Chains A and B, each alone.
Chain A
Amino acid sequence: MAVQVAPSETTELFPCFGGNCVVSIQGIGPVGPPAAAAARVRRRLEHWHRQFSRFESDSELTTLNRDPRATVAVSPVMARFVGAALTAAALTGGLVDPTLVDELEAAGYAKSARFRRQPDARPLQEGPARAPAGPDPEARWRQISVDIKGGTVTRPRGVRLDSGGIAKGLFGDILAPVLGLHRAFALAAAGDVRFGGTAGLQRPVEVESPFAAEILHVFELAGGAAATSGISKRSWIDEFCRPAHHLLDPATGRPAYTGVVQATALAPTGLEAEALSKAALLSGAQCARSWLRHGGLIVYDDGSFDVVSPAESQE
């Protein structure tokens, strides 16, 4: 990923959330000058990465998932994450389900790894017949509750949570009110982008192709969020020699092959963008467009793609 640096913009690039994060800031804000603010954002994101990693044995998320008690005291940001995960599940009718940790591990996603990027669309053709995903009939996420003020999470024993992309969207939303007091900012957290600023500058938001290092489309936006979900990057061959990836169909617990390889959603918040992009991918080629109410882009597994412009989505 090449980082383009804007005039008078301070940019910090660092590895985080299993990918790369880029913080770009213009102008002084409440945290200080751009370089100081970017450094502080970096420290905050790295802290959250350690706190929310499913792959770290001493992270707060792992500790919560391991805790045998039904109700567990959690940190304020963990409480917010659980609330955000339940919001995403409700918003998408259970398509975005945060309780699929057992299924993810069964599919072979048990540890953090650098995944080999698929060079083209051909490996996807080895996947099963295309079908839209659906919600889990059990809807375990409905049995989870969170008391954000009291700082507790209550869930049935054995139900574990995955931070996934929802956490990245939430982190952008938590930081945006402060970063938004700078002249301009953009926070790209491993593919999820949150941007804005007091100057209202139009920022080009590029959508990367799932098949090659090229840009499929550029949106010009002054503020908000963009998230991209896809099945071609974190993909692997499982122990039964089947192609697999990390976006599961909640109804079957297996990797979803819906005919959509990648979906990008624009939205006012990072949480909504993340939920809508996943829902668009999981709902399949016929329904994906209906989820992109603020605009976005859909890439199908034959390599073609559709752009849903923000104006078009509001008609």
Chain B
Amino acid sequence: MSYDHPNFESRSRPSGGHVPDSGELVAERLRARGQRVMLIRRRVAATGASIFALAWGVIFVQLVSGHDPALAHGKNRASSSSDSTGSGSTTSQASSPASAAPSTTSQS
């Protein structure tokens, strides 16, 4: 990374004919370098946050619309059932989201 930019030279040269010494030049160059580093960091952080938010937005919309890719992975499984004698079982299945499973009403 070079700091010998022509504009920098013209900016850093005082109009009163004062020629900055080497210490002032170094300080000025370090300050400019710091500003550029800060700018780059901010751009990287903003880009990363935007990509993260966009990805979450896509996933959220997909899940809310019922198209859960994790569930769709089991698409080819046959309709499953579990017996009431089992206690505390959890079952998930996925394919088309356009239907609801039957619910049974019975005497308790």
Residues of A whose CB lies within 8 Å of any CB of B are 1-15, 17-20, 22, 24, 26-28, 33-35, 38-39, 165, 168, 183-184, 186, 188, 190-193, 195, 197, 199, 201-208, 210, 215, 218, 226-230, 232-234, 262, 264
Among A3, A7, A34, A183, residue most surrounded by chain B Cβ atoms (within 10 Å):
A7
Whether the Cβ atoms of B90 and A193 lie closer than 8 Å is no
Whether the Cβ atoms of A204 and B103 lie closer than 8 Å is yes
> Given that A10-B90, A13-B82, A17-B108 are known contacts, is A5 also in contact with B103, CB under 8 Å in the complex?
no
B contact residues around A210 at 8 Å (CB)? 107
Whether the Cβ atoms of A205 and B87 lie closer than 8 Å is no
A contact residues around B102 at 8 Å (CB)? 4, 203-206, 218
Chain B stretch 61-106: residues in CB contact (< 8 A) with chain A: 63-68, 71-72, 79-84, 86-106
Whether the Cβ atoms of A6 and B108 lie closer than 8 Å is no
**Does B60 count as interface, using CB distance less than 8 angstroms?**
yes
Whether the Cβ atoms of A191 and B103 lie closer than 8 Å is no
List, sorted by A's number, 14 A–B pairs whose CB atoms are closer than 8 Å: A4-B101, A6-B93, A9-B92, A14-B87, A28-B63, A191-B104, A201-B99, A204-B103, A205-B103, A207-B104, A208-B105, A208-B106, A228-B107, A233-B108
Whether the Cβ atoms of A228 and B106 lie closer than 8 Å is yes
A contact residues around B79 at 8 Å (CB)? 4-5
A contact residues around B71 at 8 Å (CB)? 8, 10
Chain B at the A interface: SS class? loop
- List 4 extra interface pairs beyond A2-B84, A8-B96, CB under 8 A: A9-B92, A26-B66, A226-B105, A234-B107
**How many residues on B have C-beta within 8 angstroms of the other chain's C-beta atoms?**
38
B contact residues around A4 at 8 Å (CB)? 79, 81, 101-102
Whether the Cβ atoms of B64 and A28 lie closer than 8 Å is yes
Name which residue of chain A comes closest to B81, CB basis. Answer: A2
Whether the Cβ atoms of A193 and B103 lie closer than 8 Å is yes
Q: How far is the CA of A173 from the CA of B97 in the complex (A)?
A: 25
What distance in Å separates the Cβ of A198 from its nearest Cβ neighbour in chain B? 9
Whether the Cβ atoms of B100 and A186 lie closer than 8 Å is yes
Whether the Cβ atoms of B80 and A5 lie closer than 8 Å is yes
What distance in Å separates the Cβ of B73 from its nearest Cβ neighbour in chain A? 11
Q: How far is the CA of A234 from the CA of B103 in the complex (A)?
A: 21
Q: How far is the CA of A201 from the CA of B83 in the complex (A)?
A: 25
Q: How far is the CA of A33 from the CA of B67 in the complex (A)?
A: 12
Whether the Cβ atoms of A24 and B103 lie closer than 8 Å is yes
What distance in Å separates the Cβ of A24 from its nearest Cβ neighbour in chain B? 6
Name which residue of chain A comes closest to B67, CB basis. Answer: A8
Q: How far is the CA of A11 from the CA of B91 in the complex (A)?
A: 5
Looking at the complex, which one of A20, A38, A228 makes contact with B105 (CB distance below 8 Å)? A228
Whether the Cβ atoms of A6 and B87 lie closer than 8 Å is no
Q: How far is the CA of A218 from the CA of B102 in the complex (A)?
A: 9
Whether the Cβ atoms of B108 and A206 lie closer than 8 Å is no
B contact residues around A26 at 8 Å (CB)? 66, 97, 100
Name which residue of chain A comes closest to B101, CB basis. Answer: A6
B contact residues around A15 at 8 Å (CB)? 87-88
Whether the Cβ atoms of A27 and B105 lie closer than 8 Å is no
Among B80, B91, B96, B107, residue most surrounded by chain A Cβ atoms (within 10 Å):
B107
